[in-house]
A and B are shown apart, each in its own frame.
Chain A
Amino acid sequence: GQNIDQPTEMTATEGAIVQINCTYQTSGFNGLFWYQQHAGEAPTFLSYNVLDGLEEKGRFSSFLSRSKGYSYLLLKELQMKDSASYLCAVRLQLPGNTPLVFGKGTRLSVIA
């Protein structure tokens, strides 16, 4: 089966840097997404990696190592509004797989 692991909760201080890890064991990898979800709201797209390496987008960066089945989301200069859940999702090759599988999410609390 497909398995995606993320820490359940993390806490970090305003202005700091936090790294949220995601490990996956899947068949037919075809890209990895990170989404942000505030409580009671819909997920919104943050980043996408399909090749190894780092993708940077403002305060957010995402890294992928396909050989290790590993990704992380890096958030810099944390702000209170970054308190949210962060979802790692793996896109799988078809046929034979569910197209997109989500991890259970990491709830990040940013404290002053």
Chain B
Amino acid sequence: EAQVTQNPRYLITVTGKKLTVTCSQNMNHEYMSWYRQDPGLGLRQIYYSMNVEVTDKGDVPEGYKVSRKEKRNFPLILESPSPNQTSLYFCASSLSFFRSTPDTQYFGPGTRLTVL
């Protein structure tokens, strides 16, 4: 089954304790991205990747890191989490961002992160 998976789905942690949220897709998609969703603010892009070893900042990259060493995986790293990073995080992928066809993004199920 074609899907985007994220782990963990729920995480409660404390300020400063490094964590990684994994994201994996099995559709051979080139484009992957991370979003956070907060009440009243909508979905905001954190980082994106056009292909392996190519990553770029989105609108809210501060406090986050990503890597794209292989096509299927795009982990999100919080080196020193803070309470303002408490949010719902979504990973998404699509075949290619540059196509003019409705190259829709497929979203993972989300990771609800609480930083105390």
Contacts and interface: CB of A to CB of B under 8 A. Distances in A.
Interface stretch (A12-20, A44-52, A71-79): A44-52
Size bracket, chain B contacts: 20 to 34
Size bracket, chain A contacts: 20 to 34
A7 B59 CA distance: 22
A43 interface: yes
Nearest to A85: B42
Nearest to B35: A102
Contacts of A103: 42
Interface string B13-55: 0000000000000000001010100001111110010000000
Chief secondary structure at chain B's binding surface: loop
Given A42-B90, A48-B104, A104-B42, A99 B48 contact: yes
Contact of B43 (A41, A44, A102): A102
Given A42-B90, A45-B104, A98 B110 contact: no
A91 to B, nearest CB: 8
Contacts of A33: 102, 104-105
A45 B105 contact: yes
Nearest to B109: A42
Contact of A99 (B42, B97, B110): B97
A28 interface: no
Contacts of A98: 45, 48, 58-59
Contact of B108 (A42, A47, A104): A42
B84 interface: no
A104 B105 contact: no
B43 A99 contact: no
14 contacts: A30-B100, A31-B102, A33-B102, A42-B90, A42-B108, A42-B109, A43-B90, A45-B102, A48-B104, A50-B102, A89-B43, A98-B45, A99-B33, A100-B45
